[in-house]
Amino acid sequence: MASALHPTIALLQSSSLATVVQQEIERAILSGDYAPGAKLSEAALADKLGVSRGPVREAFRMLDEAGLVRSEKNRGVFVRAIPVDEALEIFDLRAAMDDWVGKRLAACVSAEQVRELKALVAEMEKAVKALDARQYHLLNLRFHDRMVEMAGNRKLTETYRRLIKELSLFRRQNLADTGLMRTFLSEHKRIVKAIASGDTQAAGRAMFEHVMQSKRRTIDNDVRQHGPAATLSGR
């Protein structure tokens, strides 16, 4: 008869499975399968993913720590709905980070990395012409994530990715606006041009302004939906 697993091995296997479950639930949340405010069923997800409820429970804990869900005692687990005031704070923090990234890349970017960024922009241009908002969104995420990676600061990359995931919960409705894709594309071209030129100030400014433009669009959208008083108060 086979011997029981050593407790440490059992724990590692359980942790690994919980991570896989966490990644799958996160993917579903960020792709819009579960809307902000939606309740997540531990039993239903365990059944859907073919696992016991333990890994799902642990995945919920990790997602709570990542800021993507909230756990309410005696009520359950819900996808977080990011309020506008929190979203605006994330834009401010991201703008400061991107300013540093732009300056850093302009000072040290390689020719190969410039080619990679230009290739991503070219793919985004194809998505704009095809009015493919989903593909554009995925490429946009990759474009910004790669620039942060290229800057070479692992702690900044980790922080940036968490902020982007939280912001995605708020921005989903904005990203579906195909009319803005051409504007975003133009801003991306300006960023790459500044980085490739080696002008650190211009690169930092281009990236900072790109984020602040997104913040201003977010404020404008919220004012149209809820009125200026609601936006200023954060509802």
Q: What does pLDDT average to in each consecutive run of 10 residues of the chain (235 residues)? A: 46 70 92 90 93 93 93 94 92 97 98 98 96 89 96 96 89 61 93 98 98 90 70 50
What CATH number has the domain bearing residue 228? 1.20.120.530
The confidence score (pLDDT) of residue 175 equals 52
C-alpha 123/C-alpha 139 separation (Å) is 7
Q: How many domains is the chain built from?
A: 2
Listed residues 62, 79, 96: the one ending a domain: 79
Q: Are residues 60 and 108 in the same domain?
A: no
Answer whether residue 181 is part of any domain.
yes
C-alpha 77/C-alpha 42 separation (Å) is 8
Listed residues 23, 56, 79: the one ending a domain: 79
Listed residues 79, 109, 137: the one ending a domain: 79
Answer whether residue 1 is part of any domain.
no
Q: Are residues 72 and 89 in the same domain?
A: no
Q: Are residues 109 and 225 in the same domain?
A: yes
The confidence score (pLDDT) of residue 134 equals 84
C-alpha 101/C-alpha 51 separation (Å) is 41
The confidence score (pLDDT) of residue 76 equals 95
What's the length of the chain?
A: 235
Q: Are residues 96 and 66 in the same domain?
A: no
Answer whether residue 2 is part of any domain.
no
Measured on CA atoms in the order 149, 153, 154, 157, is the torsion positive or negative?
negative
The confidence score (pLDDT) of residue 13 equals 54
The confidence score (pLDDT) of residue 12 equals 47
Q: Domain residues for 212?
A: 84-233
Answer whether residue 200 is part of any domain.
yes
